[in-house]
């Protein structure tokens, strides 16, 4: 059985990142997934990136709406693993993702969000177990009710319908941390800053 720890919205908090890494080690997870917004308003995060690089934990990131494309390119240049328009397989579970959001510094259109997810899904489409990783939550979700101005993504919602992941792990709306809901056949979880263990 695969076991991961997923969290998001760290916003430059090195202590929180260290706590998550230590928790991942103590829980013996297969991977730590960071669902975007490592930074706050694109401020430098070299201290966080150094912590990720030196850790022997299997860590994957996606960018959020607080990272721009140049920051993401810098993260990639350091050899840090990511799931933006990419996929990976852990045991018999496929993970695929799309970073950024439908708002923010490197805003994506809804079609771009879906296309990135679809492209990433191609690498694991043969698997029976799939987890989708995004920063932004889907439209028509309970999470939308926690903010009057942060809208969910139509592209993510379409990916739920067409790609049919077992889980969607996201963050983005801080007030919705820990909220879980079912959309069609997909369990949608806002993992939040404190993180969530997923066993599958």
The total of other beta-carbon atoms located within 10 Å of residue 94's CB is: 23
Write phi, then psi, for 114 (nearest 5 degrees): -65, -45
- Over residues 101-127, the pLDDT tens digits come to 999 889 999 999 999 999 999 999 999
Task: Determine what percent of the chain is predicted with pLDDT higher than 90.
Answer: 91
pLDDT on residue 199: 97
User: How far is residue 184's CA from residue 191's CA, in Å, rounded to a whole number?
Assistant: 19
**10 exposure class (CB count in 10 Å sphere: 0-12, 13-18, 19+):** buried
Residues 38/45, Cβ–Cβ less than 8 Å: yes
Model-level pTM? 0.96
Domain regions of the chain by residue span: 3-199
CATH class of 3-199: alpha beta
């Amino acid at each position: 059985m695969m076991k991961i720890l997923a969290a998001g919205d760290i916003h430059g908090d090195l202590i929180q990142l260290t706590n998550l890494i230590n928790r991942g080690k103590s829980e013996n997870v297969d991977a730590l997934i960071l669902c975007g917004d490592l930074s706050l308003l694109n401020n430098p995060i070299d201290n966080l990136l150094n912590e990720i690089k030196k850790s022997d934990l299997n860590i994957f990131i996606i960018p959020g709406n607080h990272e721009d494309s140049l920051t993401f390119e810098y993260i990639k240049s350091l050899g840090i693993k990511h799931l933006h328009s990419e996929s990976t397989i852990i045991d018999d579970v496929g993970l695929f993702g799309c970073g950024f959001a439908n708002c923010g510094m490197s805003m994506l259109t809804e079609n771009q969000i879906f296309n990135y997810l679809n492209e990433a899904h191609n690498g694991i489409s043969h698997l029976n177990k799939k987890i989708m990783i995004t920063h932004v939550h889907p439209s028509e979700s309970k999470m939308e009710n926690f903010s009057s101005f942060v809208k969910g993504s139509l592209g993510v919602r379409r990916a739920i319908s067409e790609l049919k992941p077992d889980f969607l792990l996201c963050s983005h709306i801080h007030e919705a941390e820990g909220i879980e809901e079912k959309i069609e056949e997909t369990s949608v979880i806002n993992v939040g800053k404190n993180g969530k263990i997923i066993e599958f």
